[in-house]
A and B are shown apart, each in its own frame.
Chain A
Amino acid sequence: MTRSDVQLMLDVKAGDDASFDFLLRKYRSPLVNFLYRMVRDRAMAEDLAQEVFLRVYRARKQYSPSAKFTTWMFRIATNLALNSVRDNRHRRLETSIDAPQSNEQEAAPRELPARERRIDEQLLEQDRCEFIRRAIGALPEKQRVAVLLHKYEEMDYAEIAKILECSESALKSLLFRAYETLRVELAPLVGQQVAVRVPQPTGEGRPL
């Protein structure tokens, strides 16, 4: 008989480490993929996923099955990923401001790190996957989380709304705006010319 995630977690709470191992094997891949799409760095995604599992383990004694296990776990993952993205953005900003401005550096163009150069090359080569990843990565934080959980983790609206702490109605609007942006950004891949939509008054048969 297969045990539910909640039952597995309650077993972990009771001291059964084998149940934790089962949860680890079940969710390591979705979690690493979700985090990879969030932070766009494999090593960092794995570090964050490891931290998520450790936090789940540490919180086992306080665990109460008030929500789905995945809701709880992905909420932890989302918070960690968003903090990491913000920290990195802040660090990059500090680097650019605090970097010493010598004449030599002003004269020579700033050399891009190898990874960024590779991404640029891939972009030039019209690498489809990177193009998609960048388009998703460019979405506002909440929209990005919503799209990743909806499209790739196939979560239902209620669960995503709980993770993002918003109403289902707000989530639907959020998802629509996110897919609308992606539809425009990824138009070259979709292979269709996307006309710029001008907001129209509502009415039957009018454009969205």
Chain B
Amino acid sequence: MKCQEVSKELIGYLDRRANSAQRQQLEEHLLGCAVCRTHAEEFRNLWSVMEEMPTIEPSFGFDARVRQGVAAEPRRRWFAGFVPQPRLALSLAALFALSVWIAKLPQRNTVLTPTTAANESEQFQEIQDLGVLDNYEVLTKLDALSELTPAPVKDSEKAEQN
């Protein structure tokens, strides 16, 4: 153990709080180091000098003053359990205000409605009524449609036709 390490453990050694391994190491060092030994002795003397400082007793009315202060403290009532805590009440009020505000916001129809036959015809009607498509009839009777190759007619169908 070096002298610098002793400086950290010396107090614990002198007040008997060091463990046995530390004590043994320190004692070995103190046996061989006169400077640290003197230092330890001076600390012991210092502590005995410090013990000369007398202790005082609290004045006669000390306890009474503390009890008086305690008695002046607000007491907890039997119904206190039912009264909401201020923080809790504030949080609940804030939550309520927030939910009311959210409910009053203009709602957007973001929900996708399932496609049904009725919906389709409705949407089709809306498109048909749009002003942009004035010549809807022309669009539906395009010549290009007539140029499409007709589907091959089966033999059975031919026979029926004949």
Contacts and interface: CB of A to CB of B under 8 A. Distances in A.
Interface of A: 15, 17, 20-21, 24-25, 28-29, 32-33, 36-37, 42, 46, 49-50, 53-54, 57-58, 61, 128-129, 132-133, 136, 150-152, 156-157, 169, 172-173, 175-176, 179, 182-183, 186, 189-192, 194, 200, 202-208
12 contacts: A29-B55, A32-B62, A50-B69, A54-B70, A129-B54, A182-B50, A190-B46, A191-B45, A194-B42, A202-B3, A205-B33, A208-B39
B6 A208 contact: yes
B117 interface: no
A33 B55 contact: yes
A21 B63 CA distance: 9
The A interface, classified by DSSP as helix, strand, loop or mixed, is helix
A152 B55 CA distance: 9
A138 B45 CA distance: 20
Nearest to B57: A29
Contact of B8 (A29, A172, A200): A172
Interface SS, B side: helix
Contacts of B66: 24, 28, 50, 53-54
A196 to B, nearest CB: 14
A203 B10 contact: no
Interface residues of B toward A: which range? 35 or more
B67 interface: yes
Interface string B89-127: 000000000000000000000000000000000000000
Nearest to B2: A202
